[in-house]
Amino acid sequence: MNDFSGKKIAVVDDTDSILMLFTALLEVHQAQTSTFNSGREFLKQVEEISPDLILLDIQMPDMDGYRVLEGLKQLPTTAGIPIVALTAHAMSGDKERILEKGFSGYIAKPVDTRAFPDQIASFLAR
């Protein structure tokens, strides 16, 4: 079983049920989670929480994930943090476009809860 003890993971998604699911999946593996349902709010607080990994929804109403990613890449304290796109866009070519924009990885929604811990472990190992 994966153990994420001491790892801080931020989850940014505008859907409360997604935030609750990811929090439960991460905390069962001992991760410390911070959740945000707004990209703008997350950018205001990201330096304070200093996450080891960021899971970022692409489609949010206030600020999409691409704009949040741009903001994160401009901050010296977050430029090296792995940022994983969370998206329901699982069409051919979507993953490639997301990676080209600068995301470290991609997790399709709905998430495969059995594979999720191993996916997170691989991103934390980078």
89-125 pLDDT tens trace: 667 788 889 999 999 999 999 999 999 999 999 999 9
Whether 98 contacts 106, CB under 8 Å: yes
- Report the run of H or E that residue 122 belongs to, with start and end: helix 116-124
54-92 pLDDT tens trace: 999 999 999 999 999 999 999 999 989 999 999 886 677
pLDDT at 24: 97
* Packed helices 16-27 and 116-124: angle between N→C axes, nearest 10 degrees: 70
pLDDT at 94: 83
Kindly state the tokens that stand for 94: 């979507």
* CATH code: domain of residue 112: 3.40.50.2300
Give domain status of residue 2, yes or no.
no
When pLDDT is cut at 50, 70 and 90, the band that residue 32 belongs to is very high
Give domain status of residue 23, yes or no.
yes
Of 27, 31, 75, 25, residue with least CA distance to 53: 31
Overall domain count for the chain: 1
Give domain status of residue 53, yes or no.
yes
> Residue 99 belongs to what domain range?
8-124
Give domain status of residue 38, yes or no.
yes
Give domain status of residue 3, yes or no.
no
